Amino acid sequence: MPVTIRDVARASGVHISTVSRTFSAPHLVNPETRVRVLACAEDLGYRPNRAARALITGRTHNIGLIIADIANPFFPPLIKAAESQARHRDYHVFVADTNEDAAAEEELVHALAKQVDGVLLCSPRMSNSLIEQLSREVPLVVVNRQLAGLPCVLMDVGQGARSAIEHLAGLGHRQMALLAGPRGSWTSRELRRAASAAARAAGADLTVLGPNPPTETGGLAQAEQVHRAGVTAVLAYNDLMAIGLLEGLDALGVRVPQEISVVGVDDISLSRLTRPKLTTVATPTAAAGRTAVDMLLQQDTDLPRTARGGGATVAVGVRRTTAQVMLQTELVIRDSTGPGPYAGRERPGTAAAGPGPHRRADPGNPVVAAGDVVAS
């Protein structure tokens, strides 16, 4: 029933190899023949069987996309961008969800390895060493994790945290809390590192609460803790947690931003819809998706998959380019942050943020810190 290359060949009176070339190397076939073949193919509704093609070329034209949680609104823009970028290059995307589980992650990489040309690992929860190990099984691009020797797409949440803390300090806050993210998250560590340093520089105290699940519930559950800690400003690991916190504080009768200021990270579309609207560190998720796909496909064209032909395939030192791309973030000031108890009594050296809300700019050009590494 399914129409194969053979049917087309028969219908157009040429050999199957000519049909094959009509599609994969058109310049090698006579224009007249080509149009005839194409007409027949169109007519019969022929579509090349990708499995068969994959078998011989070693390329499936699929890429895997492993993410922690589709339900987190942070990811869909990334997925959409990755998908559309992939589609442009005639690739398809396999999306898989790990439910924030490191074990599921490993399992999925294995399962995907043989049926994709590469995997995008987004916000992994696995250990670095495990990721490195898996990268020997299938080409990997890692998003939101820095890993020497592997291509990474990073968002500069450190800079974002710094801006957020400076913004808060500028508003006169001295007692702050950081709602940490899940264990195993590079972003969370990065956030914590940068926020601590920035707080110290601004002469403010920073209490770290967590780790927490990166969800509304995670934020909600910490509301009381935050309240008891006596802080006047909070930076949350992501917007979802910030929103949960907003909920929880509201339930406790704590007013935002009058009593406590809240800052999120990600700038998901939801953050414009809460009351008060959320001040947040915008991360360029779509750009990250696009960039990651590009890097994977780049890497992929570098190293040909099938070593057919001649006997002992002497591995002459495959050259793997492992660029690391750092994408910029930006603080978007809305209504969930306001003056703290020390407002007006600012310390010198802490830059006061301008009064008007920043509008989020274009994702901007990636700051590329490329490095070449020669692997075996």
**Contacting positions for a second copy (CB under 8 A):** 1-2, 45, 47-52, 54-55, 60, 62, 70-71, 73, 76-77, 79-80, 83, 92-97, 99, 110-115, 137, 216, 243, 247, 269-270, 273-275, 307, 313
**Which option in a second copy, DNA, none does residue 309 bind, with CB closer than 5 to 8 A by kind?**
DNA
Asked if 21 and 29 touch (Cβ cutoff 8 Å), the reply is yes
Say which entry of a second copy, DNA, none residue 28 contacts (CB below 5 to 8 A, set by partner kind).
Answer: DNA
Cβ nearer to DNA, comparing 24 with 99: 24
Within 10 angstroms of residue 305's Cβ, the number of other Cβ atoms is: 12
16 binds, among DNA, a second copy, none (CB under 5 to 8 A by kind): DNA
- Nearer to DNA by C-beta: 56 or 316? 56
Instruction: Report the partner that residue 6 touches, choosing among a second copy, DNA, none (CB closer than 5 to 8 A by kind).
Output: DNA
**For DNA, the closer CB: 56 or 349:** 56
* Cα distances (angstroms) measured from residue 120 to each of 35, 116, 236, 248, 316: 38, 11, 26, 35, 27
Burial of 314 (0-12, 13-18, 19+ CB in 10 A): exposed
Min dist CB 110 to DNA, Å, is 14
CB of residue 189 to a second copy, shortest distance in Å: 26
Smallest separation (angstroms) from DNA to the CB of 354: 58
Residue 273 interaction partner, one of DNA, a second copy, none, beta carbon < 5-8 Å per kind: a second copy
Give the nearer residue to a second copy in terms of CB position, either 132 or 247.
247
Residue 270 near which of DNA, a second copy, none (CB within 5-8 Å, type-dependent): a second copy
| Spatial contact of 323 and 368, defined as CB atoms under 8 Å apart | yes
Peptide bond into 357 cis (omega under 30): no
Q: Which is nearer to DNA, 2 or 317 (CB)?
A: 2
Q: Which is nearer to DNA, 33 or 321 (CB)?
A: 33
For residue 107, what are the β-bridge partners?
none
Query: Under a CB-based contact definition with an 8 Å cutoff, are residues 370 and 320 in contact?
Result: no
Binding partner of 342, given DNA, a second copy, none, CB within 5-8 angstroms per partner class: none
Phi, psi of 373 (to 5 degrees): -125, 135
Which residues 6+ apart lie within 8 Å of 63 measured at CB? 86, 91, 92, 93, 94, 116, 117, 118, 119, 120, 293, 296, 297
Binding interface with DNA (CB under 7 A): 2, 4-6, 13-18, 20-21, 23-25, 28-34, 46, 48-49, 52-53, 55-57, 306, 308-309
Number of other CB atoms surrounding residue 150 within 10 Å: 21
Point out which residues pair with 331 in neighbouring strands: 281
Binding-site partner at residue 312 among a second copy, DNA, none, CB < 5 to 8 Å by type: none
Three-state DSSP at 160 gives helix
Give how far Cα 210 sits from Cα of 175, 187, 298, Å: 17, 14, 38
Residues 6+ positions from 196 with CB-CB distance below 8 Å? 178, 206, 208
As measured in angstroms, the least distance from the Cβ of 106 to DNA is 20
> Minimum Å distance from CB 293 to DNA?
22
Nearer to DNA, 59 or 162 (CB): 59
The first and second tokens of residue 97, run together, are 């969800």
Tokens (6 digits) for 19: 């049909």
